[in-house]
Amino acid sequence: MLSRPSSTPRPCAGAFSGMKPAVQQGTLSPVGASPRKGPGKESAVSVEIEFLGHAGFLLTSSAGCVAIDPWLEGNPVATKKRAEVSCDWIVLTHGHADHMSDAQALAKANNATVLAAFEICEYLGAEGVKTDPGNTGGRISTPFGWVAFTQAFHSSSFQGRYMGMPCGVIVRFEAENFTFHHLGDTALFSDLKLIGELYKPDVAAIPVGDRFTMGPEQGKVAAELIKPRIAIPIHWGTFPILAQDISAFKPQGVEVKEMRPGEKWQVR
């Protein structure tokens, strides 16, 4: 299942470019990912998950590093500075500052490519950032596997500008046979069950902070609909107005891993 790594993540490789597909779009596998791991299905390689705090993650695989919603500058719980983060790809769920505000500087510093909704990529592309746009229901092929965009019920803007539809994201690592579902910021909705059936995520990052997203009680239901092996609660406790007690987040049949900012786990 999960074990603490004995070393820091491997350095990331260079990124791809464009407001066009970064790798040739060939034949993709069926929508659903491989069956969840069980006896005899574990991969010999692994993905390291590092929690950046709030809703941000670094996922390090054999193909490089993927940052999801990396918010560091101004994040009261972050343990890293922006200059300490290296990545090849940046995946954004929506345009709010606590998810997107570091993306431009981080992408330029690392020569990384941003994968996000079309409007976010249009904005960042005009600022000189390499982008690979997608949208809800779509999937982008990458050197490590693919990224798919799922539905989320929220809003999305940056500095007063509309940033398209908010999304959840599915990040699939083919060599590691591992699928990560980041729900983004969202309310509870019944089609989370369908998303779970289609993509069969091993790990799901679920917002439980209430007020702007689901609270822990509805987050529990979300986890039970998706049915990942492991659920990581996110988007809580960062500010006083967010939920500080998430003890109600106890989904049946799903292991909960409450990660501290800066904490790392090796997932097989």
- Tens-digit pLDDT profile for residues 71-94: 999 899 999 999 999 999 999 999
| Residue 267 within any structural domain of the chain | no
* Average pLDDT of the chain to the nearest whole number: 87
Model pLDDT for residues 147-206, shown as the tens digit of each residue: 999 999 998 988 889 999 999 999 999 999 999 999 999 999 999 999 999 999 999 999
| Residue 24 within any structural domain of the chain | no
Residue 198 belongs to domain with CATH number: 3.60.15.10
What's the Cα-to-Cα distance from 239 to each of 70, 206, 212, 219, rounded to whole Å? 17, 17, 12, 18
Q: Which of 40, 43, 80 has the alpha carbon at shortest distance from 62?
A: 43
- Tell me, what's the pLDDT at 43? 54
| Residue 16 within any structural domain of the chain | no
Q: Which of 51, 56, 60, 57 has the alpha carbon at shortest distance from 12?
A: 60
- Tell me, what's the pLDDT at 97? 80
- Tell me, what's the pLDDT at 8? 38
Interhelix angle 103-110/118-126, rounded to 10 degrees, is 60
Q: Which two tokens stand for residue 149?
A: 């965009």
pTM of the model: 0.84
**Top-confidence residue, 235 or 39:** 235
| Residue 9 within any structural domain of the chain | no
**Top-confidence residue, 14 or 211:** 211
- Tell me, what's the pLDDT at 6? 37
Find the domain containing 249 and state its range: 47-259
Measured between alpha carbons, how far is 236 from 212 in angstroms, rounded to an integer? 10
| Residue 13 within any structural domain of the chain | no
- For residue 56, the cross-strand partners are 53
Give the number of other CB atoms < 10 A from CB of residue 240: 6
pLDDT at 1 over 80: no
Mean pLDDT to the nearest integer, 30-57: 71
| Residue 26 within any structural domain of the chain | no
| Residue 206 within any structural domain of the chain | yes
**Top-confidence residue, 6 or 145:** 145
| Residue 93 within any structural domain of the chain | yes
Size (the chain), residues: 268
Structural domains counted in the chain: 1
Q: Which two tokens stand for residue 104?
A: 């431009």
- Tell me, what's the pLDDT at 38? 46
Q: Which two tokens stand for residue 179?
A: 């699928």
